[in-house]
Amino acid sequence: MSLYIGLDVGTQSVKLLAYDADSRRVVATHGHALELISRDDGTREQQAQWWIDGIVACFAALSAEQRAQVRAISVSGQQHGFVPVDAQGQVTAPVKLWCDTSTQLECEEIMQAVGGEVRCVELAGNPILAGYTASKLPWTRKHRSDAYAAMTSVLLPHDYVNFWLTGERYTEFGDASGSGWLDVRTRQWSAPLLQAIDPQRDLAAALPPLVPTETTFALSAAAAHILGLPREVRVASGGGDNMMAAIGTGNVVPGRLTMSLGTSGTLFAYADRPVVDAAARWAAFCSSSGGWLPLICTMNCTVATETISRLFGIKTGQGEALLDATAPGAGGLVLLPFFNGERTPNLPAARGCMTGMDLHNTTPAHFYRAAMEGASYSLRNGFDAFVDAGLAFDSIYVTGGGSKSAGWRQLIADLFGLPVHVPAQAEGAGFGAALQALWADGHAQGDRASLAEVVLQHQQDDAALSAQPDPQRGAQYQAHYQTFLQHLHAIGPLYAG
């Protein structure tokens, strides 16, 4: 038995997935919950030590026999966090996370310094958003000046875990592209953006070297002792959670679209060229598999169906019957499901809006269908932007809580006109990290199979959950989608600016 470990260091928990490459089975999964520091000003922080404590706990849950069989580790980390580290390797401040919105002022200051959002996209491929790492540095300089002055390295969350595992400070292109200062076209740091972030300091000197995807490092003696692992274990380059989820869902070749139906909705795809949008409709990331990963996020996905369920007292498991009782179009109801504002399109001040109500369609079933359709139409709007950019797809891989709904899977297949598949392994990011570890270990041993070849050999679908598009229903959904767009264009200006 040869075990490959995927560590998923998220916001809510640390998860460990152990994959046996010989039997092609996940033989163990363990998790450890994390706390979150939250304040009314938008602060969302964690202590980096909490991640390490979680990792130690997860490895301790493996049997001694399992730990002895570990060959390599790869880390999937929550993106965009800022871990300031001093010369002695100590973290100098709490880690500001991707969901921290207290740095909006600093975002505006950085973009103003480089000449605005359009110029920012020209320089790096992305604007500076509040969630990205860039704005967290000037915020820390202002509010935690001692911690900032002591900082000698700027690390992302998965970089820091790799540092703890290996003693080496390094990063890779996928996670680094979410920092805000990597030019995704050239895969080099953007000097003008670094200057705008801190004009008094040479930030480039604090950035870790960028390493290729196939790079591995030795597990340090200290980490091996603490975790109870063999000294021969290698640590792969890892990546951000979206990048690892792409690997875990087989999204390592052109043509596959990964769709996450969670509280928010996410679409991302592999590309073998940079895919940058001048209007910044998507995040133009690099992948952690040697290519690029354009990503679109909608702010309201399962939150739409959950909100309607709460409104009408719809219980878990009743949604499928409500869908079956209604036809595409929800009897004329159209929901713009912008309960949390919206990012696609960029309408942060938007709110939910239901139109088309009459004496016959104001039923729980019609409202529930309208919620699911509205969330799906928002994703289709993002999909159309990808198609406009020249991307083409032959299948959709769905993950997240919404993927458990057979009705939703069929709706997506019909609306998008593509086969829908569900990965057999639900822990996409952790599984993707394990597969990267497997490939990188083989590469270090002289195996020249590509990452895509290895991933497609090991990633499997749950065939019972697949859905094929129905052309007749697809035509109906297409007409209702056009109605949705008309409502969006009419109501969107109310929330613009």
Greatest alpha-carbon span in the chain: 71
Instruction: Find all residues with CB under 8 Å of 203, minimum gap 6, and list them.
Output: 137, 154, 181, 194, 197
Task: Round to whole Å and give the CA distance between 241 and 303.
Answer: 21
Would you call 324 a catalytic residue per the annotation?
no
* Residue 421 marked ligand-binding: no
Question: Which residue, 434, 310, 405, 355, is CA-closest to 15?
Answer: 434
In sequence order, which residues have a C-beta less than 8 Å from that of residue 86 and are 6 or more positions away? 92, 150, 151, 152, 153
Exposure class string for 139-150: b at 16+ Cβ within 10 A, else e: bbbeebeebbeb
CB-neighbour burial class of residue 196 (10 A; exposed 0-12, middle 13-18, buried 19+): buried
111: DSSP letter = H
Please indicate if the annotation marks 79 as binding a ligand: yes
Residue 263 has phi, psi (to 5 degrees) of: -50, -45
| Nearest residue to 373 via CA among 399, 408, 397 | 408
- Single out the residue of 412, 428, 410 nearest to residue 465, CA to CA: 410
Q: Can you read off the two tokens belonging to residue 390?
A: 């020249």
Q: Would you call 54 helix, strand, or coil by DSSP? A: helix
Token digits of residue 334: 């159209």
CA-to-CA distance for 223 and 73, rounded, in angstroms?
12
Strand partners, 96: 45, 82
**241, 277, 414, 441: which one is catalytic?**
241
Question: Could you tell me the two tokens for 239?
Answer: 């990546």
| DSSP 8-state code for residue 204 | G
**DSSP label at residue 314:** P
* DSSP conformation class of 464: G
Please enumerate, by residue number, every residue annotated as part of a binding site: 79-80
Q: Which residues are catalytic?
A: 241
Q: Summarize the annotated binding site for substrate as residue ranges.
A: 79-80
